[in-house]
Amino acid sequence: MGRIFGTFGVRGIANEKITPEFALKMGMAFGTLLKREQPDKELWVVVGRDTRVSGEMLKNALISGLLSVGINVIDVGIAPTPAIQFACKYFKVDGGAVITASHNPPEYNGIKLLEPNGLGLKKEREAIVEELFFKEDFYRARWDEIGQLVERDIIRPYIDAIKAKVDVEAIRKRKPFVVVDTSNGAGSLVLPYLLRELGCKVVSVNAHPDGHFPARNPEPNEENLQGFMKIVKALGADFGIAQDGDADRSVFIDENGNFVQGDKTFALVVKAMLEENKGGLVVTTVATSHIIDELAKIYGGKVLKTKVGDLIVSRAL
């Protein structure tokens, strides 16, 4: 029996590796896991996707698999991966699924399964899903126990939740000029609107949803953002923000059009959090710059380093 899941979910070429049949079986396997764990509970799962052209096809197939097992589904449509993770807690569901291939090219797609708290599915539960998937050992609901499907918005609650975490008045007073490039991805539905509500002057680039990603490769690295970097400088913006296809990754461009390495932006966040909390524990990976260790010493914090992987870091928190 092979392995399906990587560090966070499964990815591959849409309609070759990640087919409707694959998504259907994944939904049935995930649903069967939930049914076996809590056979007497009315179970709900949140499902959403990014803007990829294969997303609707795969989302509907996965939802069909869940419904056939008797799992109820909340379809939040196109939304950033972090918004779908937020939706798991917001709707108080039993799990979640995201149809996305994150920063990969448009021909790719994938599936991420989520815990009720929005984190990626634990490895031991992934192993059970894989076994059910390969053995096709699925639970099948009776005709009158098939799950129900409802559609709900998560964009508005997600924006409101972000605004509740920041100093809105301070941002409105400063009125930053920000240029955003959402790579025609799911962030197009959140980032420009969030910044405007915060009082920023916003110029949007590649901010209409288009799963072909016509403007650039969705991975927001320095090579792919050369044109955007020039735009930020030419417009005289305070800074620029670029995202990947599912908006779980953001990078920054400074006022001079320079690409800001992730270690620097992370260091600014760490400094602010340590100052605010008068110390604390910073969890990061072994690949992170030593500047984090230096900041922890200065501001009375401690650093715990893990293997590389956002799920590993999240669970260590």
User: Interhelix angle for 20-37 vs 123-135, to 10°?
Assistant: 120
So which residues are the catalytic ones? 102
At 82, give phi and psi (nearest 5°): -60, -30
Is residue 21 a contact partner of residue 61, using CB atoms and an 8 Å limit? Answer: yes
Burial 223-247, CB ≥16 within 10 A → b, else e: ebbeebbebbbeeebebbbbbbbbb
**3-class DSSP assignment, residue 213:** coil
Distance CA 280, CA 300 (A): 7
Neighbours of 123 (CB within 10 A): 10
Beta strands in the chain (DSSP E): 10-13, 44-49, 72-78, 95-99, 108-114, 149-151, 177-181, 201-205, 239-243, 250-253, 259-260, 280-285, 301-306
Close Cβ partners of 142 (under 8 Å, ≥ 6 residues apart): none
Amino acid identity of residue 99, one-letter, is: I
| Number of continuous H segments (helices) and E segments (strands) in the chain | 11, 13
Close Cβ partners of 214 (under 8 Å, ≥ 6 residues apart): 184
Amino acid identity of residue 251, one-letter, is: V
Distance CA 151, CA 76 (A): 6
The DSSP string of 143-183 is GGGPPPEEE---HHHHHHHHHTTS-HHHHHHH--EEEEE-T
Distance CA 74, CA 87 (A): 9
